[in-house]
Structure 1
Amino acid sequence: MPSALVVGGTRFIGRHTVAQFLANDYDVTTLTRGESDDPFADTDRVSNVQGDRNDREALERARDRADPDVVVDTCAYFPRQVRTATDVFADCDSYVFVSSGSAYDQNAEDVPMREGETPLHDCTDEQAEDESMETYGPRKAEGDRAVFEAAEEGVYAMSVRPMLVYGPHDYTERYAYWVNRVAEYERVLVPGDGGSLLHRAYVADVAHALRLVAERGEPGEAYNVADRDAVTLDRSLTLAADALDTDVELVHASEHDLARGDLSPEEFVLYTPSPALVSTEKLHALGWDSTPPEVAVRETVQSHREHDLTGEEYDPGREREARVVDALTE
């Protein structure tokens, strides 16, 4: 039976990745710090090694205990982490780094963004060690370059670039904000005309992509992953309403309209002023496909409501929203 080592594995992408490998007859080992509840603690085919992935000895201990055929690295956020991992796991059949669509240089304005064509962010030495979200894209881009360098040295290393990931157990609660709005209010304020296109990736599809790339990908290559059918912000809210079996009126507001409530479009999570889309043809060629949006949203909505996720931290203030809604619908 083949074996997989998942660096991470208990929270979101890692959790679904473990489930994906189990469903495809792998034995799985996770490397975690033990700070989160382990959903696989009672699963016979999942072993856990506790340790900090920043500790090379912990990576080596996990490698030696698991003897993995494939390694999926879900929690490498700094290029030095990727360089260490590609060295430690150099003799494995494959190493897959979870990068991000944010690695692409947004100034390129490519629609869609394509692997090997759309430029990646540059990354300075200072950015490579900075922990702020402003350097997230550059750090992921440099992690991709570390993968490419390792592949040139003979390591079977690859990169997967998910767009914004959503689904059950999403601790970021970004989509949960909108689900809660649809569930709690008859009228929901939406910035712009509702056509905002921020490509998203259903988490189970990301996990599927990680396994396929580990099994069939080419070393030194990167693979985008996102829903094959990109949906607008309006469409995602309509799908949420369908999943909740409720009706909702979407109230669209221009930047001028939002100013009535001292709001701006950028205060609304998942809004983007220009399309952010990626091509998934390269991944599709490996045999991958995505879950239909209505199914993915339904599963996500049910999970968010079951776990009382509200995305409260993204709330721009209902009172301010109500002032705009009332002004536009009176």
Structure 2
Amino acid sequence: MDTALVVGGTRFIGRHLVTELLDHDYRVTTFTRGNHDDPFAEDDRVSHVEGDRTDPKALLDAKREADPDAVFDCVAYQPRDVDAATDVFANVDAYVYVSSGASYGAEDVPKREGATKLESCSAEEATDDSPATYGARKAAGDRIVFEAAERGVNAMAVRPPVVYGPHDYTDRMAYWVERVAEHDEIVVPGDGTNLWQRVYVEDVARGLRLVAEEGTPGEAYNVGDRNAVTLDRMLDLIADALGTTVEREYTSPRELSIVDLDPSDFPLYREHPHLLDTTKVAELGYESTPLAEAMERTVDAHREHDRTAADDAPDRETEERLLDVLGTV
């Protein structure tokens, strides 16, 4: 393979994927609506087609322009998007759908491709766009990939858990980087042992390329940090990258309720362990970046670009009110 079409490609996962493909001598075309700055606008190795990926005709125009060997679908958020894409790209060497670890519908530890059941998806959920139905919609896209493969389409799915790294616009990791960098004491929901596996964005890009080159049509592949760490250990990694330390006030749901907070209000907190088995993608040659290195790059990028917490995360004033109360107990 030497030509690729990236549906998406200018913001986060797609941006790193384009770089990964260029590093492996692909000719790349990106297909976006043009709503965001294009970091590859001055790179003559990257062509761009503008259009709406929800329009099958626009997808077909992008295919004709790029004539790709491999297609990477980074922005398919509803099942009908995947259905249209597997039709338009039915004869490419590889169609790789970016799914999600959220597509799993059982709290197995770890979650395994082909063994752990997927979320169901109703007709109403399939056309929704709220976070509550995200996993269901991604799972429905997985099933469309499997069905397409049965009729001869070289379609595969990649399931990452929470993705972090430079250019992450969700600001989930940025919340904790800012807290550790700017404050001596922070509130941690629970006892710090909750486990929500993450994956460094450059590793997602590598996994996507490997699946396109070496994967089997009709299969799904988990990609994730090979060393999954607790929230507490993640804070250690952030502090090490910053060359600092931070005191932690571990809090119960009852204590958080004093200031009308819940553990789920904190970024990267999840009640049940979320761990993906990455054995299958490792058999294709996948390795993840050492955690200290990945976190150092992430922290440097977040600090350089002044990334802070998302608006829906707990604010520092509320956190300090809780710390004051707990300090009197």
Q: Match for residue 296 of structure 2?
A: 298
Structure 1 equivalent of residue 284 of structure 2: 286
Which residues of 2 match residues 129-140 of structure 1 at below 5 A? 129-140=127-138
CA deviation profile, 1:129-174 (whole Å, cap 9, x unmatched): 0111111111000000000000000000000001011110001111
Corresponding letter in the other structure for 1:39 = P
Please state if 1:275 is matched with 2:273.
Answer: yes
Cα distance in 1 for partners of 2:295, 2:64 equals 39
8 Å contact 1:174–1:314 — kept in the other structure?
A: no
Question: How does the TM-score come out when normalised to structure 2?
Answer: 0.97
Q: What is the root-mean-square deviation in Å for CA atoms of aligned residues?
A: 1.1
Distance 2:316 2:23 in 1: 43
Q: Is residue 3–residue 26 contact of structure 1 (8 Å, CA) maintained in 2?
A: yes
Q: Distance in 2 between matches of 1:135 and 1:258?
A: 27
In the alignment, residue 5 of structure 1 is paired with which amino acid?
L
- Asked if 1 retains the 8 angstrom alpha-carbon contact of 2:172 and 2:310, the reply is no
- Residues 131-210 of structure 1 aligned to structure 2 (within 5 Å): 131-210=129-208
Alignment-mate amino acid for residue 22 of structure 1: L
Amino acid at match of 1:46: V
Aligned to 1:71: 71
Question: SS at the partner of 2:311?
Answer: helix
- Cα deviation, residue 323, structure 1: 2.7
SS at match of 1:119: coil
Alpha-carbon distance change, 134 to 47 in structure 1, aligned in 2, over 3 angstroms? same
Query: Which of 107, 110, 113 is matched with 2:111 structurally?
Result: 113
For 1:36 and 1:305, how far apart are their aligned partners in 2?
21
In structure 1, the gaps of 5 or more residues are none
Question: What is the CA-CA distance between 1:269 and the residue it aligns to?
Answer: 1.2
Per the alignment, do residues 329 and 294 of structure 1 end up closer, same or farther by CA in structure 2, a change over 3 Å counting?
A: farther
Count of residues in correspondence between the two structures: 328
Task: Report the alpha carbon displacement of residue 72 of structure 1 after superposing the two structures with TM.
Answer: 0.3
State which drifts further: 113-122 or 258-267.
258-267
Whether 1:19 aligns to 2:19 is yes
List structure 1 runs of 4+ shifted beyond 3 angstroms.
Answer: 327-330
Query: 1 CA distance for matches of 2:9 and 2:307?
Result: 21
Stretch of structure 1 that moved more, 70-79 or 314-323: 314-323
Matches within 5 A, 1:205-244: 205-244=203-242
1:21 partner letter? L
Q: CA deviation at 1:262?
A: 2.7
Alpha-carbon distance change, 312 to 220 in structure 1, aligned in 2, over 3 angstroms: closer
CA distance in 2, matches of 1:201, 1:269: 15
1:32 maps to 2:32 = yes
- Tell me the secondary structure at the aligned position of residue 226 of structure 1: coil
Please give the alpha-carbon distance, in whole angstroms, between the structure 1 residues aligned to 2:175 and 2:286: 29
Q: 1:262 aligns with which of 256, 260, 263?
A: 260
Residue in structure 2 matched with residue 324 of structure 1 by the alignment: 322
The residue that corresponds to 2:249 in the other structure is 251
Q: Distance in 1 between matches of 2:229 and 2:176?
A: 14
Q: Identity of paired residues, percent?
A: 60
Structure 2 Cα separation of the partners of residues 259 and 81 of structure 1:
41
Counterpart code for 1:14: G
Report the Cα offset of residue 316 of structure 1: 1.5
Q: Structure 1 residue 320: deviation in Å?
A: 2.4
Q: TM-score, normalised by structure 1?
A: 0.97
Between the aligned partners of 2:210 and 2:258, the Cα distance in structure 1 is: 49
Q: State the match for 2:52 in structure 1.
A: 52
Q: Does the CA contact (< 8 Å) of 2:174 and 2:307 recur in 1? A: yes
Return the offset for 1:237.
1.1
SS across alignment from 1:250 = strand
The residue that corresponds to 1:101 in the other structure is: 101
**TM-aligned CA distance change 1:257 to 1:236, over 3 Å:** same
Whole-angstrom CA distance in 1 between matches of 2:275 and 2:181? 28
Answer whether contact 1:197 1:277 (CA < 8 A) is retained: yes
Please report how far the alpha carbon of residue 329 of structure 1 lies from its aligned counterpart in structure 2 after TM superposition: 4.1
Query: In 1, distance between residues paired with 2:102 and 2:134?
Result: 7
